[in-house]
């Protein structure tokens, strides 16, 4: 089995005078959770739709699970799963009915009861989907997305509208799917979600990948200067440094012990992300 689930080279998509995707390159490995970040209008949704086989490209090479999604067979389509940003409208069906219905579309589906248990809805199996909470309905979407044993799962803003507890439970579910061997492509505006889930990620701006890597090192994050802050005699103090341990040691000696209101931080993923966007916006 090839190690690459998705390979994209020189992808381009134009709508009239607007270049939505401009020579984008991308590699997604099998078995990893890969995050795609970018501001609205950056081209990430168009890119994902092309990978799913739902939108034609104007130029470039695209290989998804060994096939061109623009020419892919029905068998190829059965190998991918999609959880759309908007819920699937199946409110009148019971949970078990909905999952069994979609299972019938696939040549080798997973057991519906097993999937319902996997997404934590066993106690709601006979409840109508329309009467579930938002988080529970989203779990139905995931059950439908994975019922066909997808090798590659696309998740588009999967936790929009979730409360914090439901989001954490959903993260556990996604991790369990990845542990089971499913490759996952995640698009989300929640930076904490991407940081918690993604093995690697790409930032897309103006139709191009401007940075790629794991969340801890993206855009030089791991080597960026630390910010040491404390409460001095004249008020709050801040110092940026490549050697925070040295600064803290000097402060401890100065204060002869505990340093008032000491914090040591490095740039967050959000800081790096916003910096990348700002940098690209200044490029003519």
Position 29 in a domain: yes
pLDDT in tens, 31-90: 999 999 999 889 999 999 999 999 999 999 999 999 999 998 889 999 999 998 777 767
- Other Cβ atoms less than 10 A from the Cβ of 265: the count is 11
Position 93 in a domain: no
CA gap 225, 209 in Å, rounded: 24
Position 97 in a domain: no
Dihedral sign for Cα 226, 228, 229, 233, please: negative
Position 87 in a domain: no
CA gap 248, 194 in Å, rounded: 31
Position 250 in a domain: yes
CA gap 139, 146 in Å, rounded: 11
The pLDDT confidence band at residue 1, using thresholds 50, 70 and 90, is very low
Strand ranges of the sheet holding 18-29, from the earlier edge strand across to the other edge? 18-29, 4-15, 59-64
* Residue 194 belongs to domain with CATH number: 3.40.50.300
- pTM for the full predicted model: 0.83
Count of the separate structural domains present in the chain = 2
2 and 37 co-located in one domain: yes
DSSP letter string, 91-146: TTSBHHHHHHHHHTTSSSPPPHHHHHHHTT-GGGTTSBGGGS-HHHHHHHHHHHHH
Position 56 in a domain: yes
189 and 253 co-located in one domain: no
pLDDT in tens, 190-228: 899 999 999 999 999 999 999 999 999 898 888 888 999
CA gap 67, 31 in Å, rounded: 18
Any residues with CB less than 8 A from the CB of 233 and at least 6 apart, and which?
Answer: none
Q: For residue 57, give the nearest of 90, 82, 20 by alpha carbon.
A: 20
Q: Which residues constitute the domain of residue 251? A: 220-281
Position 143 in a domain: no
Burial of 245 (0-12, 13-18, 19+ CB in 10 A): exposed
């Amino acid at each position: 089995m090839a190690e690459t689930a998705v390979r994209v080279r020189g992808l381009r998509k134009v709508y009239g005078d607007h270049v939505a995707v401009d020579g984008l390159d991308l590699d997604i490995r099998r078995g990893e959770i890969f995050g795609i970040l970018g501001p609205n209008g950056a081209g990430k949704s168009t890119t994902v739709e092309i990978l799913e086989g739902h939108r034609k490209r104007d130029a470039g090479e695209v290989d998804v699970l060994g096939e061109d999604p623009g020419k892919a067979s029905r068998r190829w389509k059965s190998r991918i799963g999609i959880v759309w940003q908007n819920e699937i409208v199946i409110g009148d069906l019971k949970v078990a009915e909905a999952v069994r219905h979609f299972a019938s579309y696939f040549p080798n589906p997973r057991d519906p009861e097993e999937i319902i248990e996997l997404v934590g809805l066993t106690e709601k199996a006979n409840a109508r989907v329309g009467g579930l909470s938002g988080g529970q309905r989203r779990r139905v979407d995931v059950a439908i997305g994975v019922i066909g044993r997808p090798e590659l799962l696309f998740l588009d803003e999967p936790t929009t509208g979730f409360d914090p507890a439901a989001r954490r439970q959903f993260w556990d579910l996604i991790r369990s799917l990845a542990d089971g061997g499913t490759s996952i492509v995640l698009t989300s505006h929640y930076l904490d979600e991407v940081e918690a889930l993604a093995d690697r990620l790409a930032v897309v701006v103006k139709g191009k990948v401007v940075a790629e890597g794991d969340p801890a090192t993206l855009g030089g994050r791991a080597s960026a200067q630390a910010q040491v802050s404390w409460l001095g005699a004249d008020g709050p103090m801040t110092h940026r440094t490549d050697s925070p341990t040295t600064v803290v040691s000097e402060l401890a000696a100065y204060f002869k012990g505990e340093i008032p209101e000491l914090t040591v931080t490095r740039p967050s993923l959000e800081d790096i992300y916003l910096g990348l966007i700002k940098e690209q916006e200044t490029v003519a």
